A = this chain, B = another copy of it.
């Protein structure tokens, strides 16, 4: 087995990381198939001119992530598990929101693929020592941790959340806050509280895929308000509000998923004015706001609203760890009571231990410290993504340039040539998210979402390069088909 690796000694990426990343490249594009033998540590260290410890560290990471397996006395081999990409539901079935969400939730467990699909933080950057330290402290209060807690959320957590909200200019007392199992549960409860089957909710086009699935599960229709680089188009919002009398409008004003777009202050004011005029609620999802790379984002709509027409939601899934499943919301008083009662009817309360752990972590300044450490790393990834796009993408392709969050939205000039782009990328070992699942209305273009939060700059560059190549092929085929069509006389 010949392996060709190239190390860049001036790169900020550690040498062991470069080795691990390049092995993952070769495994995911099948140059190193399942069962292939890797060089011995001594041999590879010699060939590359690095220490054995460096190679050992690279192999350790590959083994920990399930990409390779070592058998004592026999050697090190590419794991059979790299064939598990077949477990991606969306690769073989119709690409529905349900299938895509299912895949994204497990994407980090799928060996043999490099994922640019999940709009989540990098789990390797999670502040594990601090968090486990807090968990260990709670041992002394085990009896409380073992029990049910208030449906509204642990009081200590709501106190910490009120402090956190104040920094986003959201003035809410602990008693006005409702803890939820992530923003998704908050959205499900709001929909249950406000809508009956057949009702209409306005959404951004494109919008969070999970939300479209939540609406569908409750039989509620999503009507699309087109988004431009300043946010949802207000004239369209007004026209659709008059036409459909929506129950509410769902928006992610800051570092939107999937586009990364942030609404301008003028757009925010105009949007609130329309909501007030037509008497619908605005449901604001603010969960990416603290993942800001360039400057502080504008305050949320909730802070600009004087007429109790905004429901505010956020969570720790993007700033800390999605595995916690802890979000929070602030709603006008009558809706708050209704939501609390519905929460009690659905699952009683969130797990006590995790709520207290998060409360302590927040009270100790853990979130701020964590963000100070990781935001520069995510900014570097965002920059690597934008530079690679600029360098590799052919003319005619457009993409958004987010100043926060993890998502960029790519638009290809037409659809037809790209119907198999998603599956082809998977065959090359890369996953992105196909754009259709974010759309309430069909689009004339092919879209895709790229998430850069989970991968190193090297991996991001490599992924953009592969994707550009596949898109270029599609565009060339389109050109050829077009000209061929022009030459042919129709047969009928």
Q: Which A residues contact B (CB, under 8 angstroms)?
A: 98, 101-102, 104-106, 108-109, 118, 120-121, 123-124, 126, 128, 131-132, 135-136, 139, 142-151, 180-182, 184-185, 188, 192, 196-197, 210, 213-214, 216-218, 317, 321-325, 341-342, 344-354
8 tightest A-B CB contacts, nearest first: A128-B142, A217-B345, A323-B352, A123-B143, A146-B321, A181-B347, A126-B146, A185-B347
Residue contact A217 to B347, C-beta cutoff 8 Å: no
Residue contact B124 to A143, C-beta cutoff 8 Å: yes
27 CB contacts below 8 A, A to B, read: A102-B151, A105-B150, A106-B148, A106-B150, A109-B144, A109-B149, A123-B146, A124-B143, A132-B135, A132-B136, A135-B136, A136-B136, A145-B323, A146-B323, A147-B322, A148-B317, A149-B323, A196-B197, A210-B345, A214-B345, A217-B342, A325-B348, A325-B349, A325-B350, A325-B351, A347-B347, A354-B354
Residues in B whose Cβ lies below 8 Å from that of A181: 181, 346-347
State how many copies of this chain the complex holds: 2
Residue contact B347 to A188, C-beta cutoff 8 Å: yes
Residue contact A324 to B348, C-beta cutoff 8 Å: no
Given A150-B106, A188-B347, the answer on whether A353 and B323 have CB atoms closer than 8 Å is yes
A108 CA to B106 CA in the complex, in Å?
37
Residue contact A322 to B148, C-beta cutoff 8 Å: yes
**From residue A122, how far is it (CB to closest CB) to chain B in Å?**
8
Residue contact B185 to A105, C-beta cutoff 8 Å: no
A348 CA to B146 CA in the complex, in Å?
23
Residue contact B348 to A346, C-beta cutoff 8 Å: no
Residue contact A123 to B136, C-beta cutoff 8 Å: no
Residue contact A105 to B323, C-beta cutoff 8 Å: no
A317 CA to B347 CA in the complex, in Å?
12
Residues in B whose Cβ lies below 8 Å from that of A213: 341, 344-345
Q: Which residue of chain B is the closest to A122 with respect to CB atoms?
A: B143
Given A123-B143, A139-B132, A354-B354, the answer on whether A346 and B149 have CB atoms closer than 8 Å is no
Q: Which residue of chain B is the closest to A356 with respect to CB atoms?
A: B323
Taking A101-B348, A126-B142, A181-B181 as known contacts, 13 extra A-B pairs with beta carbons closer than 8 A to each other, sorted by chain A number, are A98-B341, A102-B151, A104-B148, A106-B148, A106-B149, A108-B148, A118-B148, A126-B143, A128-B143, A132-B136, A145-B321, A148-B322, A325-B349
